[in-house]
Structure 1
């Protein structure tokens, strides 16, 4: 059984579980017959499999062509990024295994290294274009005439020497081309990546050479903009990319065979043979997508939770439920945190089903919508609701539409277990206490709202309770409010229940707030209400927030009915005073 997944890429064609062989075969055929020099870019986001594709290509051409492999990330990790260009060129030369006594190429590389350290890359680039005489004055001060002669002669000869070495290596090996793999270019600082690409173009653009680079266009575009101080538009960035790259190849993520990959991987970590693989694929497709690196993280989390629960308790149904919850955890962090933090609000199937409804995220009857609080755009809401629908379908495979209370309780418990693998969920030992006050204050505000609606007509009272914590508003606090216009100034008239978790004390506050941030509108509200509210004992004005506020009293010891009557009577007195 598999004991976990590392970030190791696929090493050869035999390991392909994603069904990309036809793409690899096509690339190999092209690479072995294309005109040279040729530069191919393997494009894709991090973790989509660029290195794996390059490994499979290498596996397919190793008996047909000479090849070299250079990983830029390994060098940049050890503060060697300033010597990256030389390291690349040296690695390419060494990979050819040339053992000539009179090897001037290494001498030229040493001079090139000194030139790069001296900041003369522009002169190098110009020299590579056979314009040495025009750029002699650009060589930094301090070079002797002999130094200058050695420098320019060596740079001018570098490409020719490299070509001669390529030809010699091919003649000796009996092969007809060299394939140069350059991996992890998109992990470099974008400007350093551009420098490396320019060197490849200027010095190694040789006959019988095919360069295969793992890099994304977005990195190239960003690097070009940085190099030229953000003065180039996207078309210029595209032109630069096309100058360097003759053939772009995008990782075929959309064509990945997820079913085969997921089925094999779940079996490797000991999941049930008859687990609903199609539902697992739906869960992945609606969450983390087809990124192999993200899927490995998901599988590692699933394996850990399986071990924590114990194989005997980890029944097939629980496997599927936790798999779905992990998909939410790894793809929509804010939604997962909201769900876990507010589990008490979703203890029935009808409440859980709300999470599959787009309107639930968009409704703003109670202040900010959930979409605003969780920073979800329209597209994210659509994907979240599809994912939540798939997750809820895991609760009871035998009774998807109406799962039993026992199954729902099991689901809620498993959500709690999943927090072990959450990298970003805030660990708060007061969560249960918060849930108690959250429920209590919400129900009290609902009761106050109902009483106000009975006693005052023509006003639309609403209840607000935040879904997460803010500086002032905590998720366990709540308020009743309504909007009103005084002349042409809009105000919000509010009753707040604010609880201090550490003491358990709940205070009532009344606030009248200008909904405008303009100073003239705040002053207008102050002038309209000053005589009325300042004569009412306890109200004070705050110009910064445009708010009249009053602390009423501590109602921690009040019985529920008494509390509702007490706070509602005061609220009604304030409302009558304002709107009369």
Structure 2
């Protein structure tokens, strides 16, 4: 969406002729406001139009239309009605009621929208290319009630030519919440969205290769060099851990950097390597049960170390992992468990069924990854310290710009919604 805005601002219609007015409405910022989203949206539009050579007059109309009669005024008039003592009071009250009715007629909920429509029509009569483009991103970050309120607000503009909305949303998430909200009436979210969005553009999902390219070409050059080597060497597994999602990738990297910097900045803190934190973050994110067992069980760590070398005792197991199969994932897991039972004999019963079950989730790529990082994994001197640092990472979500230097990184605790 930023790219669309950038393209708009580079056109002659924007730079010299001022025909296009782009603006952003960050819906989730108004999540906790008591006022209706329609009011917040119109205020955003009005402020953006103010002092604009083509839309300033329309801005004033919008703000007049946002006039809201307070409860105090209503109560005051009501008290006048109740306490009136003579006919003179009737005339005063009638004047107040007439004024009150005029305010309501001019508000956006009555004739105000028609006035906005008429003024926009007049502007476009002079120049049909004049448009107001409103960007609304991350709609699915809002609560279901607020997301629906925003969509209902957009509907007010659907018959006003010249207003264009560019909406960023998760199609699946929003259609589901609409269907749920209108379940009693039988309205389907898919049908609802089709009536609002005229030109849907589905952005392709990020692939493994595109995430790896993002890491090596865009992110790594902006990071402190102390962080980049391990990140680039293990970009394939990092891409997998973040589920090929660029936003999750940013959060993942920020969390690791903050954890390392928070710990390293403490006076007299034991020496710990960034690669160790990064590796443990990968393990804990992708295989939490394995991570827990690995941290707390020395025998299990030794068994995994032995398996990384791909011993002959497990050649059938590793051969199966390399074999392409169309088996259902459940069947694959059961097959792996069966082949891993050789571990019980080889370790004289030191490995439990629960540990075999954990290892049965590993595929060939996992073992390749563990082989690549074995020097870091088994070079850790104090497992407990690294585990404590990881607890700090998991406690909060950090939103920091990628590329923050390690000496300047400061945690910013934010609330996130899924």
TM-score bracket for the superposition, by shorter chain length: 0.5 to 0.7
Once the 2 structures are TM-superposed, how far is the Cα of residue 413 of structure 1 from its aligned partner? 5.5
Per the alignment, in what secondary structure is the counterpart of residue 206 of structure 1?
coil
From 211, 215, 228, the equivalent of 1:258 is 211
| Paired residues for 1:243-322 under 5 Å | 243-255=195-207, 257-263=210-216, 264-271=218-225, 275=229, 279-304=233-258
Q: Please give the per-residue CA displacement for 1:543-575, whole angstroms capped at 9, x wherever unaligned.
A: xxxxxxxxxxxxxxxxxxxxxxxxxxxxxxxxx
Alpha-carbon shift at residue 290 of structure 1 (Å): 2.5
Give how far 1:180 is off.
0.6
| Higher fraction of strand | 1
Matched with 1:62 is 9
Contact 2:260–2:277 (8 Å) recurs in 1: no
1:240-285 superposed Cα distances (whole Å, 9 cap, x missing partner): 1111112233443425732332124334333469947764221123
Matches within 5 A, 1:103-502: 103-111=60-68, 151=104, 154=107, 155-167=109-121, 176-228=130-182, 230-231=183-184, 236-255=188-207, 257-263=210-216, 264-271=218-225, 275=229, 279-304=233-258, 323-348=278-303, 349-351=305-307, 358=333, 362=337, 369=354, 385=363, 388-395=366-373, 409-410=378-379, 417=386, 419-423=388-392
Instruction: Give the C-alpha shift of residue 236 in structure 1.
Output: 1.3
- Count residues with an aligned counterpart: 322
Contact 1:180–1:209 (CA under 8 A) maintained in structure 2? yes
Q: 2:211 and 2:287 mapped to 1: Cα distance? A: 20
User: Is the deviation greater in 261-270 or in 63-72?
Assistant: 261-270
Instruction: Give 1:424 shift.
Output: 7.7
Whether contact under 8 Å (1:85, 1:196) holds in the other structure is yes
Given the superposition, is the C-alpha separation of residues 351 and 95 from structure 1 closer, same or farther in structure 2, using an over 3 Å criterion?
A: same
Structure 1 residue 211: deviation in Å?
A: 0.2
Structure 1 gaps of 5+ residues are: 1-53, 119-142, 397-402, 427-580
Residue 347 of structure 1, CA deviation: 1.9
TM-fit CA distance, 1:342: 3.0
Contact 2:37 2:153 in 1 (8 A): no
Deviation string 1:447-493 (CA, Å, 9 cap, x unpaired) is xxxxxxxxxxxxxxxxxxxxxxxxxxxxxxxxxxxxxxxxxxxxxxx
Residue aligned with 2:372, SS = coil
3-state SS of paired residue (2:241): coil
Choose the corresponding residue for 1:73, options 23, 28, 36: 28
Are 1:69 and 1:182, in contact at CA under 8 Å, matched by a contact in 2? Answer: yes
How far residue 150 of structure 1 moved from its aligned partner, in angstroms, is: 5.7
| 1:481 matched residue in structure 2 | none
- How far apart are residue 222 of structure 1 and its match? 4.0
**Secondary structure class of the residue paired with 1:82:** coil
1:361 is displaced (CA, Å) by 7.6
State the Cα deviation string for residues 352-405 of structure 1 (Å, max 9, x = none).
579997569856989875698x8x9xxxx75x5356324313235xxxxxx8xx
Higher helix share: 2
Q: 1:184–1:215: 8 Å Cα contact kept in structure 2?
A: yes
Moved more, 170-179 or 192-201: 170-179
Structure having the higher Rg: 1
Q: For the Cα contact (< 8 Å) 1:70–1:91, is it kept in 2?
A: yes
**Residues 251, 386 of structure 1: CA spacing in aligned structure 2 closer, same or farther, 3 A cutoff?**
farther
Moved over 4 A (4+): 101-104, 143-150, 167-175, 276-279, 304-310, 318-322, 351-372, 411-416, 423-426
- For the pair 1:84 / 2:32, whether they are aligned, the reply is no
When residues 207 and 314 of structure 1 are mapped into structure 2, their CA distance, relative to the original with a 3 A threshold, is farther
> Separation in 2 of the partners of 1:260 and 1:151?
56
Determine the C-alpha separation between the residues in 2 that align with 1:101 and 1:276.
55
Q: 1:214–1:227: structure 2 CA closer, same or farther, 3 Å change rule?
A: same
Could you tell me whether the CA contact under 8 Å between 2:215 and 2:235 is conserved in 1? yes
CA 425–179 in structure 1, closer or farther in 2 if over 3 Å, else same: closer
* 1:97-122 CA distance string (max 9 Å, x none): 244499444333225x879xx9xxxx
- Does the Cα contact within 8 Å between 2:259 and 2:392 map onto a contact in 1? no
> In structure 2, do the counterparts of structure 1 residues 192 and 305 end up closer, same or farther at CA, with 3 Å as the change threshold?
closer
- 8 Å CA contact 2:137, 2:167 repeated in 1: yes
CA distance in 1, matches of 2:105, 2:337: 66
Structure-1 separation of matches of 2:381 and 2:201: 45
1:59 CA drift (Å): 1.7
- Give how far 1:324 is off: 3.9
Distance in 1, Cα, partners of 2:223 & 2:275: 13
Partner of 1:524: none
Query: In structure 1, the residue corresponding to 2:134 is in which secondary structure?
Result: strand
